[in-house]
Structure 1
Amino acid sequence: MDPIAEDFFPPMPARLEETGLNVKFVSALLFRSMYLLGLETNVAIAAQLRLGQGIVDDLLGKLKQQGFIEIKGFEGADSRVARYSLTTAARDLAIESARQCEYVGPLPVPLAQYQEQVVRQGLANEQISMERLASALSHLVLPASVIRRLGPAVNSGQSLLIYGPPGNGKSSISEAIGRAFAQPIFIPHCVEVDGQVIRVYDPTVHEEIREEKSGAGDYRELLKKRPDPRWTRCRRPVVVTGGELTLEMLDLDFDQTAKFYEAPPQMKAIGGVFIIDDFGRQLVRPKDLLNRWIIPLERRVDYLKLHTGKKFDVPFDELVIFSTNLSPRELMDPGLMRRVKYKLHLDPPSMADYVSIFQGVCRRREMDLPDEILSWLLEDFYPRHGGSCAAFHPAFIVEHAEATCRYMGREPRLTRDLVADALENLFLVERAPGASAPGASAPESSAPESSAPAVGSARAERAS
């Protein structure tokens, strides 16, 4: 893990004013937390809001003077842990506040502080070396030219189009690129905009880096400087969307019941990688989707809108990867094409790479790969079917052979019959009644089955 730059580190606020939020907003969240969660002690309240104990104690003292809080006593002999309760007036305020917003959790970070932090920990601050990128892609069998061309695109932190026939590793490459980044960033639990709460941190997307992981020594030094606990130290995010993506998903998602927002996927991907997989197969037209990205891709800023009509901007600091097996000319016009800064066509593997992939798959599954199987595939089957091999074929063949062996109660192994059976699940085959499978004789005609289950397994495999 790269050393954590001190400039990236959000320090703990020493005073309430340093949180960037007004007293009314913080008090309302405190009242809701006490009312809805039954919090009583100053320690529990500070832990819930993720504020310094001194700030919480000062705020509780002022609220007590204003008649909103009562002291009920102390926890045992420890006078530092006081028990509080809401007065009737504060309880009424809590109920009214909960009608407007039910959010209870860490104190949000104001938009201005969030924007500043995104710039400090920008993607361009981390440059990926050829060695590190090659390491991140080492589980894939790829030509050296692919890694060479990917590097500048990754370090640009802008946009990349990966296209080519299905099943040759486009999705796997896209996701592996995200793992090449090593520099940690800080993600706020929530962001406050015009009094509204937007939840940004998502444990399904943001991988927290705890102290015991790499870089622990550096992090312990930073802990002495008291980090702001409203921010979570994470790896740079990798957000993947596919055919389910719609234009509505790119807007803030307002929960009509809880009355706060969920950040859209591109906002959760800030500081990392945003992958639009199967581009062109979304319900929305590709041109409409790309038109939504014109300003973010060109100006590196995205505009969002609250249900109140308030518009605001966030830095569009992320590497956007479009992955597709459709022709780019069918998806975008020249004007949109030029806004995608980098393009990479991914070809099917060479026969030598295909053999390496097949050997790696069998080695991991502790299965022999007979020479006669390879010879038949390379010299007979693929030539008769237009030479249309793909990087995912070896894993597909082996998985189907294993499934058949398990069904028949045999030890997993590869035979020509089992490989031929697997290929019938991979190719549409039309033959005369009584004709044998592709392993025994040539079919009358065949075509790759692009919608077969194999597409879901379209990944280049490990070489070893």
Structure 2
Amino acid sequence: MDLKKIIPTEAKTLHDLKIDPEIITDLIIKELFVHGKKVPRRLAKDLKIDAEIVTQVINELKKLEIVGMVGGSGMGSDYQYGLYPKGTERARNILDRDKYLGAAPVSFDEYIRITRLALDEGKQGYAINRKLMEEKFAHHLGYKDVLFQIGQAVCARKPAFVYGFPGNGKTFLCSSVVKLLPPMIVPYAVEVSNQLIRIFDPSCHVPIENFDMEGLDERWIAVHPPLITAGGELTLEDLEVKYNSKFGCFDAPPQVKATGGVLLIDDLGRQRCGVEEIFNRFIIPLENKVDYLVLGGQRMEVPTDEIVLFSTNLDPMKIVDDAFLRRLPYKINVRNPTVEEYTEIWTSTIKKLGLQFDQKNIDDVLVLYKRDKRGLRAVHPRDILNIIRDRKRYLEDGNTAITSTEVTEAYDIYFVRDLTLVETIA
């Protein structure tokens, strides 16, 4: 997938930026007020626009006695500019209503157009199939049937309901789905009715290293497919455009930032709002791959074309109804591991910890599971073996062989049968 064919070429004039020129003027004034004197090419780098555009704006601001030359090497391109008193006053007025600093925004229409081009190219020019799934998950232990179902859902780009007991890797599997998706491009920010909405979020968008943007519009950035995870902290308000005081602009909601990637609603049923409320809010994004957001009284349609995964370790039939499940064609049970899979995970962990493998250790621990009528979990080998390794370190025991006693003690520490307090009377 060639993202360079989709990213617009670099704008050479204010008009080519396709946004209100006043936005660029305000950004330059704010940069000079907050960070002090700068040369035009430094300002251009900060705003991600061509230096000639910055020079053009500065020349207009010089005529208005808002900025002036305050230093430099004597070479035209290296003159430093700073604010005059008139510019300082204007900067304060601007910052009272708009504190955003950073890359210049793209227009809303351009955001929609380029985003849809990238999504269409990703679907037509990037095959998601069994071969890719097996390649990307080659080191994953067991669960081949579960991986097959997940791969099928991602290939169809359809939402899925993922459920199962805690400790079997639901969150890990869901998070790994992004490995199957093509890269994406996003703008740093979008202008809507002179308000700025931040799209690029470094907490979930990972830039593609060494991506050559020569001659391209640097207000866009190439990223790996995004993964947005919303857990028990999710509220309905989080799914709307919200003001971010830290960045001085509005923030796009998670279903918009996840476009082209994966949106994982984790720990479903543990949110402060009800499952039915969450699902009702997602009906349109799930069915139409768009969402309707409101900013400054303006209603806008935005793409929300991503893989939406709902994950829970609660009993599905106690938190969702048939109407919910009907709209999610894939219901994937991340089941308990088989004995063979448990052994495979145990063996792999043993190697990582530098301990010796002994089938008797497996036999010993399975006897304890059977005694307690306890189900196997994929995470158990890692946790039990780490307790054994910790014990050896504490005792400065260099013997890498594991005894039956060590297995039993680690098991008993990990699986506490009774967490109630018991008063001891002297």
TM over 0.5: yes
Deviation at 1:6, TM superposition (A): 4.0
Deviation at 1:163, TM superposition (A): 1.0
TM-score, structure 2 length as denominator?
0.90
Task: Report the counterpart of residue 372 of structure 2 in structure 1.
Answer: 385
Q: Equivalents in 1 of 2:291, 2:37: separation in Å?
A: 38
1:59-458 matches, cutoff 5 A:
59-72=57-70, 75-122=72-119, 124-125=123-124, 126-181=126-181, 183-211=182-210, 219-220=211-212, 223-224=213-214, 226-256=215-245, 259-306=248-295, 308-378=296-366, 380-386=367-373, 388-411=375-398, 413-429=401-417
Q: Equivalents in 2 of 1:13, 1:157: separation in Å?
A: 34
Q: Equivalents in 1 of 2:113, 2:45: separation in Å?
A: 25
Deviation at 1:67, TM superposition (A): 4.3
Letter of the 1:402 partner, please give it: R
Change beyond 3 A, Cα 1:127–1:39: farther
Task: Report the counterpart of residue 49 of structure 1 in structure 2.
Answer: 47
Letter of the 2:354 partner, please give it: E
Deviation at 1:320, TM superposition (A): 1.0
Change beyond 3 A, Cα 1:160–1:140: same
Deviation at 1:388, TM superposition (A): 1.0
Deviation at 1:29, TM superposition (A): 1.5
Question: 1:307-365 CA distances to partner (integer Å, 9 max, x unpaired)?
Answer: x3333231011111111122322222222222223221122111111111111110121
Letter of the 2:260 partner, please give it: G
Q: Equivalents in 2 of 1:404, 1:72: separation in Å?
A: 66
Task: Report the counterpart of residue 424 of structure 2 in structure 1.
Answer: none
Unaligned stretches of 5+ residues in structure 1: 212-218, 431-464
Deviation at 1:129, TM superposition (A): 2.6
Change beyond 3 A, Cα 1:232–1:339: same
Deviation at 1:118, TM superposition (A): 1.6
Q: Equivalents in 1 of 2:244, 2:95: separation in Å?
A: 13
- Asked whether the 8 Å contact 1:130–1:147 carries over to 2, the reply is no
Deviation at 1:428, TM superposition (A): 4.2
Change beyond 3 A, Cα 1:82–1:418: same
- Asked whether the 8 Å contact 2:101–2:247 carries over to 1, the reply is no
Change beyond 3 A, Cα 1:259–1:169: closer
Question: 1:105-158 CA distances to partner (integer Å, 9 max, x unpaired)?
Answer: 111122221112221111534332322222322332234322322222112333
Deviation at 1:418, TM superposition (A): 2.0
- Asked whether the 8 Å contact 1:124–1:156 carries over to 2, the reply is no
Task: Report the counterpart of residue 422 of structure 2 in structure 1.
Answer: none
Deviation at 1:12, TM superposition (A): 1.1
- Asked whether the 8 Å contact 1:302–1:313 carries over to 2, the reply is yes
Deviation at 1:410, TM superposition (A): 2.0
- Asked whether the 8 Å contact 1:300–1:315 carries over to 2, the reply is yes
Question: 1:47-77 CA distances to partner (integer Å, 9 max, x unpaired)?
Answer: 221110122122222333444333456x324
Q: Equivalents in 1 of 2:412, 2:254: separation in Å?
A: 39
- Asked whether the 8 Å contact 2:365–2:411 carries over to 1, the reply is no
- Asked whether the 8 Å contact 2:171–2:266 carries over to 1, the reply is yes
Deviation at 1:238, TM superposition (A): 1.1
Question: 1:378-419 CA distances to partner (integer Å, 9 max, x unpaired)?
Answer: 3x2233233511111110110111122222332355222222
Letter of the 1:422 partner, please give it: A
Letter of the 2:344 partner, please give it: S
Q: Equivalents in 1 of 2:401, 2:255: separation in Å?
A: 45
Deviation at 1:38, TM superposition (A): 1.0
Cα RMSD over matched residues? 2.3
Q: Equivalents in 2 of 1:368, 1:168: separation in Å?
A: 24
Q: Equivalents in 1 of 2:80, 2:107: separation in Å?
A: 29
Letter of the 1:349 partner, please give it: P
Change beyond 3 A, Cα 1:310–1:256: farther
Task: Report the counterpart of residue 18 of structure 2 in structure 1.
Answer: 20
Q: Equivalents in 2 of 1:417, 1:248: separation in Å?
A: 53
Percent identity of equivalent pairs: 28
Task: Judge which range, 296-305 or 6-15, deviates more.
Answer: 6-15
